Amino acid sequence: MVCAVRQRVATPAKAKPWNLKSIALVHQPDLGVAPHSSTIPSLCNVKSLPIAGVKAPQRLARFSLSISHHIDYAMTSVTAIIVLMSITRFAYITVSAAFFLCHSVSADNPPPQTRDHVLLITIDDLNDWVGCLSDKDASAQAGHLTGRGHPQASTPNMDRLAKRGVLFTNAHCQAPICRPSRTSFMSGLRPTTSGIYGNRPKYDANGTLKPGKDVPWLTKRFEQAGYQTFTAGKILHGSQNKPLGGTPCFKTNQGPYPPKKLGVPAEVTKPGVWDFGVYPKTEKEYTDLRIARWTAGNINKPNKSGDKPRFMALGFYNPHLPLFAPKKWFDAAPSQKDVLLAAMRGDDMDDLPAIAKRIASRVSFAAPAAWVRETEDRLRLLTQAYLACTSAMDDSLGEVIDALDKSDMANNTWIIVLSDHGWHLGEKNHIAKQTLWTRSTRVPLIIVPPKRLKGTPRGKRCERPAELLDVYPTLIDVAGIKPIKSDKHLDGLSLLPWINNPAAEKKRPAITTIYSHNHSLVGDRYRYTRYADGSEELYDRFNDPHEFDNLIDPLKTTDKNQQAIIKELAAWIPSNEVGPPDLVDDRVKR
């Protein structure tokens, strides 16, 4: 197949500028296997290149998207002819290109030595209860939650970022608990590769690759590529960010804590982390706002020509427990009387395998969660606090975005916003995370391209499955940094094809793992879960967004359509998983 890439000539000032689609091929098949950036060198360095490991059309699609990033910078006249020959697993790409002319530079077309900045914002325990993910009209008419967000969620700053970029509405974490999830998206490795399965090392296995050793942490990867890096708040579990390198902010934690418990009596649980209420008294003491302002201060520092590009990683704490926020956010939240509760059904647990219930019970604070579930009033207070803290966090996020928009970095910064996993507030008779159901796995994921890319999709929704570990290869891809050997070990896919075309097909599902050999896979429509003991669940997420009805009847397994769905999703279960099956039998009542 021979494909000619159109010629770019000097254009008048009013002509339509180049964008991510500038040289993308018409045919862009699904990248079912991660085609790593390490095999895609810069356009100006290659004339004839053998590429192994991925089918030829997949490589060609990826190549076209990769070089479009470089062309968007400074290319004023390029003619490229790509000749593709498929020989077994090799593809030969021949590129003939003219030289780059860098004398014509503008804010929309910075010189090649100027690379885009990166602002990575992580949020703790935020499920899909954000404005841009919420089915507000349907919920208002029904008078209860529809299973798609929360109609009373107020997150105007996340919403405005969604309008500026691509909102991945079907994004899922790789582990529904802090330590393995954050390890995964900051290293680009699945728990099944790293062996990091739980918050406590006793649940881990000996991984085939070590995060930070065999594969650099994401921030270190950019630091090695010449970026100046900053870290603030909770990025790795426990805010243990020292391995990430760069310039750290002041020491932070989940606090501050009041002198006495506020919403949960000490006799229920003594630790201050399981609590909710109005605190601190002043906004300047609110931790998320403090780290936001520290980050904004560094963004405001001049970034002159020749300075290093910046990678800024910021981790907010709310809405993780304790659910504390200044008074104005509780005042702005729906009242205890008016707040809408999560959808619950009395028989919801009846069609679930025993191991699913055991996994949900392996939480650190079972007593306060059970105490809240005892009465509707307590659940209303907890729900109100969760919404209030989410809004308070979002306001802090807004200060960072406002600073960015006024800074030297305003036109050439990639913004990524994500949550490490979700959180239950009564669904499946559960409060906390640490399950393989939607409320634990589904997360916000927003990717905003730099303003200089005038023709890129904005305000679009991508409903294809996406994974948090895709962020690592995506940022390598869009930054155009020089590939290194460890890039080939990354388990994720670059999301650049779906930023370019949010409706593009995608075969690979999102995979979430909780403890070894317990996996849930989400495609466009269905969720399939297989536990370590072989038991299964299947949900039609279109018709049953609450995941009330497990479609698998162990006594009836002859439904051919159901079996086809299961076969398609199960094919993606990691085959070389480290560690023995975790049956969670420590939770068996004896």
The C-alpha angle with vertex 255 and arms to 250 and 258, in degrees rounded to 5, equals 135
Cα–Cα distance, 368 to 358 (Å, whole number) = 18
For residue 180, give the H/E element and its range.
helix 178-187
Are 510 and 493 spatial neighbours (Cβ–Cβ below 8 Å)? no
Res 18: pLDDT: 34
* Poorest-pLDDT segment among 50-59, 160-169, 544-553: 50-59
Q: What is the mean pLDDT of residues 219-236?
A: 96
Is residue 414 left, alpha or beta, with left meaning phi > 0 and alpha meaning psi from -120 to 50? beta
- 146's tokens: 């529809």
Give the model's confidence band at 556: pLDDT under 50 very low, under 70 low, under 90 confident, else very high.
low
Most confident of 40-44, 137-141, 243-247, 329-333: 329-333
DSSP state at residue 16:
P
Distances from the Cα of 589 to the Cα of 354, 369, 554, 584, 586, angstroms:
11, 19, 23, 11, 8
- For 209, residues 6+ apart whose C-beta sits below 8 A from its C-beta are 189, 193, 194, 215, 489
* pLDDT of 78 over the 50 cut: no
Res 32: pLDDT: 44
Cα–Cα distance, 461 to 446 (Å, whole number) = 9
Q: What is the mean pLDDT of residues 203-221?
A: 97
Distances from the Cα of 232 to the Cα of 29, 177, 246, 289, 546, angstroms:
38, 20, 10, 11, 35
Cα–Cα distance, 168 to 509 (Å, whole number) = 13
Are 85 and 91 spatial neighbours (Cβ–Cβ below 8 Å)? yes
Residue 357, classed as helix, strand or coil, is helix
Q: What is the mean pLDDT of residues 418-427?
A: 98
Are 372 and 271 spatial neighbours (Cβ–Cβ below 8 Å)? no
* Poorest-pLDDT segment among 23-27, 84-88, 404-408, 412-416: 23-27
Q: What is the mean pLDDT of residues 519-524?
A: 98
For residue 163, give the H/E element and its range.
helix 156-164
Res 254: pLDDT: 85
- 473's tokens: 């290869």
* Poorest-pLDDT segment among 83-87, 316-320, 435-439, 563-567: 83-87
* Poorest-pLDDT segment among 255-259, 435-439, 446-450, 555-559: 555-559
* Cβ count near 573 (within 10 Å): 17
Res 306: pLDDT: 87
